[in-house]
Amino acid sequence: MVTTESSLAKNPLLEGMRLEKRASPFAMVILGAHGDLTKRKLIPALYALYLEDLLPKDFAILGSSRTKMTDDEFRGVMKDSVQKYASDLNFQEDSWGEFAKSLHYLAADVMKSEGFTQLSDRLQELKQEHSTQGNHIFYLSTAPSLYTPIVKGLASSGLACKAKANQVPWPRIIVEKPFGHDLQSAIALDEEIHEVFSEHQVYRIDHYLGKETVQNIMVLRFANGIFEPLWNQKHVDHVQITNAETLGVEGRGSYYEEAGNLRDMVQNHLLQLVSLVGMEPPISLDPEATRDEKAKVLKCLRPIDPGEVDQFAVRGQYGSGHILGQAVPGYRQEEGVSNDSNVETFTALKLFIDNWRWAGVPFYIRSGKRLAKSITEIAIHFKSPPHRLFSESLDTVSDGKTEGLSPNVLVIQIQPEEGISLKFATKQPGQTNQLRHLNMDFKYGTAFGVRSATAYERLIHDCLMGDPSLFSRTDQVEVCWKFIDPVLEAWSDKSRKTNFPNYAAGSWGPSASDDLIGSTGHSWRRL
């Protein structure tokens, strides 16, 4: 529940009252409503918000795509989806029936101006029918190539315009990644969007940032006195961020051929995680204060020289192999993928944040498809103790130093189970000085027996409330593209040979990835 300390000192009755903030009436238009995202994530999230009583009394959801469907058919499809993909929700016919009254559908082609006329007319009807007060959210759940025509169509039909911060009624737009294809296209897309919307109206959604544990990174760092003093180059040896998936491209081969892993995962999700781990404390919880700090740390990423890409970046592509006992094909055998594709399905990067706090601390990030296990985590590896006291327990001894001693590791787990664990040394029971390293584990699911809101629930609710804290700002997007552009450029150079496929499905990626981290004396965590 979002609460706020009322600052309306003018009204004495509101002083000291923590009011529950409620979203204003709205109509959300989901463009591309026939797609998977709408079925799997958006409608289940909106229904969950409805069940939690977090939607206003008056709202309408208008799905739109070229597919012909009636309102009732759309409701039927969405009902099946909620039951299939949101089994943790307390689905009930009564509550669904009430919710579904606000669900509507419009078959329209947004590549034609008539499509926007139809959309405008339907929204006008819904304004009367559901008292939406003319507040509109346009959710772009379409192919990225449609973003610009849609934004232009919204403007020319009068459905969208630049608005002041507290203006009502308000139009807002939610943009799904990818935000551009490279730096140049990202800037071009932003310019198109900013022709029509002010930045505060634009919500670039990165669902990673809506996850409970990701939000908890800031709480862990800035609400606990014990971690922040250690959170710097004096005490942190290195940081590893892993995003591993057992899944392949799952029928999205043609999309993946255009995107690749670096664009699909690293440019947005993983660099956002880097910013949360690396940022300085914001001056307040004001949305812009947090986004300012994240942008600042991303601007400190040491640029990768195009001539040195191989020293800092490794790419891979999976071949056939086995996942959980099942034989799976290689990437080049996937539907929609060229049989000589050089698109990467795996990325490992070594990066440095050149600022006072992180000088000299390597951040290793890896992301890949068809890896041995599905897991996403951030691991902060602390430096070993300066003096070796428990020599018998050392794994290896080198010149009396403690290189072999297993260091403390703080792990922030994001998927599949959200939680935090701290690895530390303890003495083995009995007449021995042997050490044993144990994990102190905190799991969200077991510490709080309640269901956590999904990332989409949290982010859609934030958008309804006009809170952009967890959405990417234009300068963050730009600086992320600027950082990876040299790598993209080098990898798109056809004269550079690849040995694809260079890892088997079900492994932990190409051996070059081990060499990348090994060159600085580290190794990937065994997960």
Partner 1 sequence: MTATKPLIKDKKEGTEAFLSGKLAQVDIEKIEKELQTLWQSASESGEATGSVTRACAMNLILYSEDEDAETVAGDVLDDITTRHPCRAILAISRTAATPSLEAWVSARCHITDSKSGKQICCEQITVRSQGNGPNELTSVVLPLVISDLPVFLWWRAKKVDFASVRPFLSYVDELIVDSAKDEGSCNFFSDLIHIIGAYLEEKHGAQIVVSDLNWRRSLLWREALALSFDEQHGHLSLDALKDVKSVEINYVAGKTECKGDLNQTLLFIGWLANKLGWQFKSASKSMVHFSAGKNSVEVSIKSGVDADASHIGNICSLEVSFNDAAFPSVVLQQTAGAPGVQMFASRSAQAAAAPVPQQDFRFKVNQATEARLIDLELETIDRDPTLESAFRMAAVIADQIGAKAK
Question: Which residues are part of the catalytic machinery?
Answer: 269
243 membership: H or E segment, kind and range: strand 236-244
| Residue 11 interacting with partner 1 (CB under 8 A) | yes
Q: 71: part of which helix (H) or strand (E)? A: helix 71-85
| Stretch in the footprint of partner 1 (CB under 8 A) among 3-11, 330-338, 461-469, 508-516 | 3-11
Is there binding between residue 430 and partner 1 (CB under 8 A)? no
Query: How is residue 424 annotated by DSSP?
Result: E
The tokens of 108 are what? Answer: 């329209």
Using the minimum distance from each CB to partner 1, give the nearer residue, 233 or 452.
452
Residue from 2, 4, 14, 281 that binds partner 1 (CB under 8 A)? 14
3-state helix, strand, coil in the chain (%, to 5): 40, 20, 40
- Closer of 3 and 434 to partner 1 (Cβ): 3
| AA identity, residue 122 | R
> Residues 19, 219, 247, 324: which binds partner 1 (CB under 8 A)?
19
- Does position 20 interact with partner 1 (CB under 8 A)? The reply is yes
Closer residue to partner 1 (CB): 10 or 526: 10
Q: Looking at the DSSP assignment, which residues form a beta bridge with residue 368?
A: 244, 346
Tokens of 243: 């995003």
Single-letter amino acid, residue 98: E
Q: Tell me 132's DSSP state.
A: -
In this chain, which of 2, 4, 53, 311 binds partner 1, going by CB under 8 A?
53
Q: For partner 1, which is the closer residue by CB, 158 or 445?
A: 445
* Of residues 55-74, those binding partner 1 (CB under 8 A): 57
Least Å from the CB of residue 450 to partner 1? 5
Determine, following the binding rule CB under 8 A, whether residue 225 of this chain makes contact with partner 1: no
Task: Return the residue matching tokens 């009583």.
Answer: 53
The site that binds partner 1 (CB under 8 A) totals a number of residues, namely: 21
Question: At closest approach, how far in Å is the CB of 164 from partner 1?
Answer: 16
Phi, psi of 347, deg, nearest 5: -135, 135
- Please tell me whether residue 133 adopts helix, strand or coil conformation: coil
Answer for the pair 467, 473: CB distance below 8 angstroms, yes or no.
no
Q: Are 524 and 508 in contact (CB under 8 A)?
A: yes
Q: Is 324 in the site for partner 1 (CB under 8 A)?
A: no
> Exposure pattern of 208-238 as b/e (b: 16+ CB <10 Å)?
bbbbbbbbbbbebbbeeeeeeeebeeeebbb
C-beta of 419: minimal distance to partner 1 in Å? 12
> What's the closest the beta carbon of residue 55 comes to partner 1, in angstroms?
11
User: Cβ closer to partner 1: 216 or 345?
Assistant: 216
Q: Which residues bind partner 1 (CB under 8 A)?
A: 1, 8, 10-17, 19-20, 53, 57, 443, 445-450
